[in-house]
C-alpha cells in the first residue's frame, strides 16, 4: 500500500474543501480534477459528481426547495441550485 499522505487528507478536508483522494476507484484522478460541489443546505454533503448532488438535493432537501421556490417545479429548483453550487465551486479553485 502506497502511503501518499492519505492520513492528512481527511483533516484538511474542511479547510481545502477537497475529498480524500479516491485512488482505488479513480486511478487516473479524474474525480480529483473536478471542482468539488458542496450542498448549500446542509454543508455536509460534498461530491465532484453533479448527478450525485442532483440526487442528494432531491432526496434530502426537496421540501426545503419547495418552500424556497414556491410555484416552481422541483426539477427546475434543483437545476437552479445546482447552477449556483457549480458557480461557487468554480470560484473556489
d(CA 32, CA 23): 9
> Contact between 42 and Zn ion (CB under 5 A)?
yes
CA distance 7 to 17: 16
Q: Is residue 45 close enough to count as binding Zn ion by CB under 5 A?
A: yes
Q: Which three cell numbers stand for residue 1?
A: 500500500
- Letters for 5-34 (x = contact with Zn ion by CB under 5 A, - = none) are ------------------------------
Closest separation in Å from C-beta 56 to Zn ion:
6
- Whichever of 42 and 84 has its CB closer to Zn ion, that residue is 42
Nearer to Zn ion, 18 or 60 (CB): 60
Q: Give every CB contact of residue 55 below 8 A, 6+ residues apart in sequence.
A: none
9, 21 Cβ separation under 8 angstroms: yes
> Binding to Zn ion by residue 39, rule CB under 5 A?
yes
Amino acid at each position: 500500500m502506497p502511503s501518499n499522505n492519505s492520513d492528512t487528507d481527511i483533516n484538511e478536508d474542511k479547510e481545502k474543501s477537497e475529498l480524500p483522494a479516491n485512488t482505488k476507484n479513480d486511478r487516473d484522478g479524474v474525480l480529483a480534477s473536478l471542482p468539488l460541489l458542496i450542498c448549500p443546505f446542509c454543508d455536509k454533503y460534498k461530491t465532484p459528481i453533479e448527478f450525485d448532488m442532483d440526487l442528494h438535493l432531491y432526496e434530502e432537501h426537496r421540501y426545503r426547495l419547495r418552500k424556497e421556490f414556491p410555484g416552481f417545479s422541483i426539477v427546475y429548483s434543483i437545476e437552479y441550485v445546482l447552477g449556483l453550487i457549480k458557480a461557487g465551486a468554480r470560484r473556489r479553485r
